[in-house]
């Protein structure tokens, strides 16, 4: 009997290996098995893993978007022009009528009111009476919401029901200053935020604990990752509770003899480490010149040449006129054009089969190629069938 002790993440793991044979051979074989177990343990620990809770969403556990239309008052002359924003005038008249003030038919001229759109996100399982943050954005031609106060604004969901009511002082992160001959604006003064500015009035009815099974939705769908999640759950529970339904979802079933609810089961498995897998992909943005390449991008044998041609055209017209006191002659403009062409030496690089991401980037950088040229080169390599990855253009 030989006992191996492994230190991993401040935890001592003891492995006991028993062999029926005796003698020197047993010792060497046992040491080899222990060494192999240690190497496998280190490889598993060093793998890039993520928790299940960080790569999946639970079906039904989701946020809900809320939106509302309201008025911000108390602005220092930076509100909507009522002549240019009739909806602001109508909203102001309707609000005053609800408060018992009748001004219909009167000529209103105030710049201290602005119509705004109010948006918020209702987190899952939010209780009635809880407070959530809201965002406020000018709807008309107001120049700034600084110093304004949002009046009571119902926030509706997609079903048309009111789930929260917002009100409070608007905090903005920008300002706008204007003089007779100059003005300056920093950030966006027509959009702001009200921390804890809305009170939840209605809860979303969803009883997660009563479900017998839930679907785990992968944020980045992949068949390999989906299967690994199911295998990790089944290995942890020692039962076939999870099944990879497709590349985007895993079905998690609550066992019949399980004492806890589905919430307890989710809590037990969401900390399990998983090594996500994704297909090789290159994401490029031609507008900004951004290139993002995955670690599994591979390139077959290919030669890359890159060179630049520069044309210069200089116009230097000259004036030609007759000699002084000449009997005949006229002043004319004689065109003079200088055309030159210069071409940098083409740079050629050969990339062998199975080139990794780091080698590809290093090779392109050694050629002195700029990001926008790299985008064109990658598309050309893909068209030649040498890029073993998917190109996604943003």
For 229-266, write each residue's pLDDT tens digit: 999 999 998 889 999 999 999 999 988 788 888 888 88
- Joined together, the tokens standing for residue 259 give 């004492």
Kindly state whether residues 92 and 194 are assigned to the same domain: yes
Is 59 a member of any domain?
A: no
- The pLDDT assigned to 216 comes to 93
pLDDT at 228 over 80: yes
Kindly state whether residues 195 and 85 are assigned to the same domain: yes
Is 242 a member of any domain?
A: yes
Domain that residue 306 falls in: 281-317+332-393
Kindly state whether residues 352 and 384 are assigned to the same domain: yes
Kindly state whether residues 189 and 256 are assigned to the same domain: no
Q: Which spans in the chain are helix H?
A: 24-46, 52-55, 86-98, 223-237, 262-269, 357-366, 371-383
Kindly state whether residues 96 and 152 are assigned to the same domain: yes
CA dist 225 and 244 (Å) reads 9
Is 51 a member of any domain?
A: no
Is 251 a member of any domain?
A: yes
Kindly state whether residues 193 and 233 are assigned to the same domain: no
Helices (H) and strands (E) in the chain, counts: 7, 28
Is 134 a member of any domain?
A: yes
- The pLDDT assigned to 353 comes to 61
Is 58 a member of any domain?
A: no
What sign for the dihedral angle of Cα 206, 209, 213, 218? positive
Kindly state whether residues 194 and 219 are assigned to the same domain: no
pLDDT at 25 over 70: no
3-state secondary structure of 67: strand
- 41-45, 102-106, 120-124, 194-198: which has the minimum mean pLDDT? 41-45
Classify residue 312 as left (phi > 0), alpha (psi -120 to 50) or beta: beta
Kindly state whether residues 166 and 84 are assigned to the same domain: yes
CB-based burial, 55-76: b 16+ in 10 Å, e otherwise = bbebbeeeeeebebebbbbbbe
Q: Are 93 and 121 contacting, i.e. CB atoms less than 8 angstroms apart?
A: no
Kindly state whether residues 103 and 154 are assigned to the same domain: yes
Kindly state whether residues 196 and 217 are assigned to the same domain: no
- 134-143, 241-250, 328-337: which has the minimum mean pLDDT? 328-337
% pLDDT > 70, the chain: 74
Identify which has the larger pLDDT, 372 or 230.
Answer: 230
Kindly state whether residues 70 and 89 are assigned to the same domain: yes
Helices 223-237, 262-269: axis angle to 10 degrees equals 110
Is 76 a member of any domain?
A: yes
- Torsion angle of C-alpha atoms 165, 167, 173, 177, degrees rounded to 10: 130
Kindly state whether residues 237 and 298 are assigned to the same domain: no
The pTM assigned to this predicted structure is 0.64
- The pLDDT assigned to 321 comes to 73
Is 231 a member of any domain?
A: yes
Domain count along the chain: 4
Q: How confident is the model at residue 179 (pLDDT cuts 50, 70, 90)?
A: low
């Amino acid at each position: 009997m030989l006992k191996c002790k492994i230190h991993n993440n401040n935890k001592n793991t003891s492995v006991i290996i028993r062999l029926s044979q005796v003698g020197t051979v047993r010792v060497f074989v046992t040491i080899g098995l222990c060494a192999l177990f240690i190497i496998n343990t280190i490889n598993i620990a060093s793998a890039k893993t993520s928790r299940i809770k960080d790569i999946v969403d639970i079906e039904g556990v989701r946020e809900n978007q809320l939106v509302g239309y309201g008025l911000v008052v108390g602005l220092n002359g930076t509100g909507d022009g009522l002549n240019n924003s009739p909806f602001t005038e109508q909203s102001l008249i309707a609000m005053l009528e609800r408060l018992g003030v009748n001004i219909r038919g009167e000529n209103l001229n105030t710049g201290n009111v602005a119509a705004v759109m109010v948006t918020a996100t209702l987190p899952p399982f939010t209780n009635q009476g809880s407070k959530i943050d809201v965002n406020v954005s000018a709807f008309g031609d107001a120049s700034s919401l600084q110093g304004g106060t949002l009046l009571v604004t119902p926030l509706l969901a997609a079903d048309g029901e009111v789930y929260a009511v917002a009100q409070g002082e608007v905090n903005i992160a920008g300002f706008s200053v204007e003089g007779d001959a100059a003005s300056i604006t920093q950030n966006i003064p027509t959009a702001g935020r009200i921390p804890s500015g809305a009170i939840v009035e209605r809860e979303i009815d969803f009883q997660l604990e009563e479900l017998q099974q839930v679907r785990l939705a992968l944020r980045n769908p992949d068949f390999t990752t989906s299967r690994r999640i199911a295998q990790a759950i089944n290995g942890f529970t020692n039962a076939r509770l999870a099944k990879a339904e497709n590349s985007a979802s895993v079905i998690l079933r609550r066992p019949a003899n399980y004492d806890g609810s589905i919430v307890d089961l989710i809590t037990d498995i969401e900390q399990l480490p998983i090594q996500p897998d994704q297909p090789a992909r290159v994401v490029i943005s031609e507008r900004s010149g951004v290139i993002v390449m995955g670690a599994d991008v591979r390139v077959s044998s290919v030669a890359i040449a890159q060179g630049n041609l520069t044309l210069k055209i200089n116009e230097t017209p000259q004036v030609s006129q007759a000699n002084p006191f000449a009997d005949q002659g006229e002043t004319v403009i004689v065109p003079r054009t200088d055309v030159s062409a210069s071409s940098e030496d083409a740079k050629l690089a050969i990339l062998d089969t199975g080139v990794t991401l780091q080698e590809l980037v290093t090779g392109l950088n050694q050629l002195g190629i700029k990001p926008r040229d790299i985008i064109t080169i990658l598309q050309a390599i893909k068209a030649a069938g040498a890029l073993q990855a998917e190109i996604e253009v943003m």
